[in-house]
Structures are given as C-alpha cells and as structure tokens.
Amino acid sequence: MESIASPASLHGLASRLSLYDSATRSQAPFVPLVPGKVSMYVCGATVQSSPHIGHMRAAVAFDVLRRWMEKLGYRVVFVRNVTDIDDKILVKAKEASQKWWARAYHYEREFTRSYETLGVLPPTYEPRATGHMIDMIQLVQRLIDRGHAYVVENPDGTPSGNVYFDVRSWPEYGELTHQKTGTLPDNADEAAARPVDPSVDAPPAEKTDRSNRADEDVSSKRDPRDFALWKAPKPTDPDDASWPTPFGKGRPGWHLECTAMSHRYLGDDFDIHGGGLDLRFPHHENEMAQSRAAGWGFAHHWMHSAWVTQKGEKMSKSLGNGLSVDQVLADHSAWVIRYALASVHYRSMLEWSADSLDEAEAASARVRNFLVSAKRFTGVQPSREEVVSFPAVELPVAFSDAMNDDVNVAGALAAVFSAIRDGNSFIANGKLSDVPTVARILLQTRAMLDVFGLDPLDPQWVGIESDSRGCAERNALNALVSRRLEARAQARHDRDFVTADAIRSELAESGIAIKDGDTGSTWELK
C-alpha cells in the first residue's frame, strides 16, 4: 500500500504554502486533494536530439518545488513523461538513416544523464508514450462516444486514421490561457490580466499548434481550431510508427499522450500540472480541454516555468542558440550550473550569461569555504542523514517564509547567505562558547541548501566536481582566491577598510580583478 504522510506529521508550515496558478492568474494557499499527499505531472522531453540548458530549467525548477514539498512532510508522487514518438523524431531519424525508436532511446538516455548530472531527483514514474497506446486509443474512443471527437472518413467511407477534437463541442475551450479565438492570443485580454511585476509576467501564448502538421488536410476539419487526437501516417512514415485502431491506422497526437499518461498514473484528478511556459498554448490548453471533455477533473493547479534566454532571446534549437548541457559542463561544475538554474524565480526569465555563471561560482566559493571553516572551528561535519532529516520547522523563518511564498528562491538564498555571514562572524571571533552556535548554523545551512539540491556534501556532488569542470588548475586557483575574498568580506564587515583594500591590491598585483555584487565578490584573470 502506498504510504501517505498523515496530517499529524505535517506541521503548520505546510498550510502556509502559497502558489501561483497560471489558469487563475492568482496566488493562493495550496491545498492538496488528498491530505498529506501531492500528485504532480510535469511534461518531460521530446527525445529528438541532445538536451540543452533551456530544457534543464523546468526540470530543476520543479525539482526544487518537489524537494520543498517533501521537506514540508508531503508524500509527493511525481510523474514526468517521455515523448518518444513525434513528427520531429521521425523526420530527424529519416534524415540520419536511423530507426526512429533507436534515435528516441539514444536521446532519452542523454536526457536522463543530464538530469542525473544536475541532481534532478528521478520521478516516481517516467512513462513513455509508446508504452501507453492502449490508454490513448481508449481515450480517443471515449471522446468520440461522448460527442467531443470525430473520425475523418476516406472517400469510400472507411476511417482514414485522422481523428480530431471538436472544439465547438466544448464551450469551455480556452479556460487555461483565457483566449477568445482558441487559435491566436487575445492580446488585449492578455495585457489587461498581466501581473504588475514584469519579472514574473508570462508572454503571450504561442500562436501555432504543432499537433497540426503543415501537410495536414485542414479541409477535413469542422473548425480551424480542432486539433489532432489521432493522425493517419504520412507516406514517408515507417510502418512501425503506426498502430491499428477502430478509427484507422495511425499514431497519437502530441496532446493526447500527456492526458492518457497522467490519467494512468494519477487518476481522474490530480494536484499540479507543470511545464515550460511555451507549453501553455496549445499543448496544455488542449490537454485541459480533452481531459475535461472526457469527464475527468484533471489538473487542479497549473504552474509554468519561464524560459532561459540569451541576449533577450529564448534559448532553443530552432533559433540555433541552444547550449548543450555538455558544452556548459565543459567550463563549469554541475553544482554551479544547477545553482545558476535554481537561483532565479521559476516564473522569471533567466538570462544565461557570463555574469550569471560568475555569480554562481562566487556562491560556490562562499558556501564551500564556510563548510570548511565551520568544520575546522567546531570539529564536526553533520552527516547526510542529519541534513536530510533536519525538520523544516527548525529552518530559519526567513527561509521557510520565502519558500512558502510561491517558491521565492531569491529570498530563500538570501537567508542561506545571511546564515553563512553570521557563522563566519562567530568563527572570526574565535570564542569556544560559540562552537554550538556555529555547529547549528552549519547544519541549518546545509539543510537549506539541500532543499535546492545543492548540499555540497551530498554524494551527488562529491567526486564529480573536478571532472565536470574540466580544469583542475582553475579549481585550485579558485580555492586560494576565494579564501582571500572571504577574508576581505570579513574585513569590510568589520569596517576594516585598510585590510580590505590591501587584499584587493594584493590580488590585483597577482593579475586578479575583483567584482563586487549583491551575492558577494567574484574574480577573473585580467
């Protein structure tokens, strides 16, 4: 029997968790359907090619949410799918003279390695689309029987294999993105409902529905808004990319896949549906419509993570600016990459730049130096078991309040570095009476970092950092310079500006330039 956290095991912190809902465009207290349990479905990868850093944004964002919910005492059932049958997979496999299923599996493994390298917890279930054809065929038939889908017939009256969702049969269509046309965003309506803070705003919905191919016979639709539930094979499709059904041979539409898989593992109703902002329309809009038309309550809460951008443009393969995970890991540790991805609010655009990575490097140095100094001062280092089991109610209030405020990671990280600053001050004073206090701060700090998946002493990170950076020399130099920066930070805190300036000059003479920022000081070679 599945274990669910009892209400008695959950503390008051859990009741204060508040999340933004993309559908209602408002923030409200989160109340799960089943006390003590959270059911969550997050759209995973279409495994057509290698993962880039933009793909990892959503994975890390929802991983942090999941970790916080588990810290609050919830039993989280987390489902992330794999789309392993898709137009793009078939096209790219044909171009590369590959079997489509072999290509899909190869890149599925690449995505898995990237998730693992960046410390993303494995999902409770990770279904593949190709493993759920019976569920999908039954769902299409259910929608046909309920009058919300129709089969396109061939001239001779036989089923063609094309089945469409009948948008006109479902008056609530558009309730997720609040669009009046169903195919194009109503910009005036979007603008009127936007949040005041532009940093957490969502851009207008996508204007194209990739479930409707360019070569599709749109004249067979009853309404231009109708979208494909089942697709007849193209002449260029391999034979093994189609499945026999009562409505003709074919394969599932993109939107159908997620509805069938979420229903299989989470049932008629579940708590949260998440994914990247670009999936909001048409994918999630169509998922909602077909699921509720099937008679299911489906997701009760919608969450969308914003994009990773470069020079203001969305990072993607189609734009040619998608940095692969391996490319980024060649120059920075996995911990640093995860920190850079996790440190920006999930609804804010993340500008990927040298500055963001420098800030992550500086954070890494501050955290690791504190862990070393605190252990030296106290003579102990908490075990992983102590860190993982540390109660949420004993974390700093500023940290818990920030995480409960729609996962305000900036506020939570401010609490982390405030604790480190306090710990360093006690260490600098050198009083034996402060040893218990520093030991407590050390445990709290690692427990807070663990909510982000960033406890440096987690086995996840131990032993892989130097290899993933690809530059042992820079690691050594970073350790030496970071110690001097910590000493300079302490001097500035003590208003000993003579010493602080002397350290800056010392580093400058060695060819190292210092840049001061909100989260600390970074350095670079001149």
Buried b (16+ CB within 10 A) or exposed e, 38-62: bbbbbbbbbbbbbbbbbbbbbbbbb
Residue 511's pLDDT band, with cuts at 50, 70 and 90, is: confident
Domain range annotation of the chain: 14-305, 354-525
Q: What is the pLDDT of residue 146?
A: 98
Whether pLDDT at 184 is above 50:
no
Q: What is the pLDDT of residue 55?
A: 92
Report which of residues 361 and 512 the model is more confident about: 361
Distance CA 363, CA 365 (A): 5
Residue 319's pLDDT band, with cuts at 50, 70 and 90, is: low
Residue 197's pLDDT band, with cuts at 50, 70 and 90, is: very low
CB 407 within 8 A of CB 17: no
Residue 211's pLDDT band, with cuts at 50, 70 and 90, is: very low
Model pLDDT for residues 23-59, shown as the tens digit of each residue: 999 999 999 999 999 999 999 999 999 999 999 999 9
Q: Cα 131 vs. chain centroid, distance in angstroms?
A: 24
Q: What is the pLDDT of residue 484?
A: 84
Model pLDDT for residues 70-120, shown as the tens digit of each residue: 999 999 999 999 999 999 999 999 999 999 999 999 999 999 999 999 999
Q: What is the pLDDT of residue 1?
A: 41
Distance CA 297, CA 132 (A): 20
Degrees to nearest 5, angle at CA 88 with 353 and 252 = 125
Q: What is the pLDDT of residue 470?
A: 41
Distance CA 505, CA 201 (A): 43
Q: What is the pLDDT of residue 209?
A: 47
Distance CA 452, CA 454 (A): 5
For the whole model, what pTM was predicted? 0.83
- Cα–Cα nearest to 521, from 495, 480, 494, 482: 482
CATH code of 14-305, in short, is: 3.40.50.620
- For residues 360-366, give the mean pLDDT: 95
Degrees to nearest 5, angle at CA 517 with 511 and 519 = 115
* DSSP structure string for 277-301: GGGIIIIIHHHHHHHHHTT--EEEE
Report which of residues 112 and 464 the model is more confident about: 112
Q: What is the pLDDT of residue 188?
A: 29
Instruction: Give the number of other Cβ atoms within 10 Å of residue 89's Cβ.
Output: 22
At position 260, the amino acid (one-letter code) is A
- For residues 462-487, give the mean pLDDT: 60
- Cα–Cα nearest to 277, from 52, 47, 33, 62: 62
Between the CA of residue 187 and those of 24, 180, 203, 262, what are the distances in Å? 17, 10, 10, 31
Model pLDDT for residues 400-436, shown as the tens digit of each residue: 999 999 999 999 999 999 999 999 999 999 999 999 9
Residue 204's pLDDT band, with cuts at 50, 70 and 90, is: very low
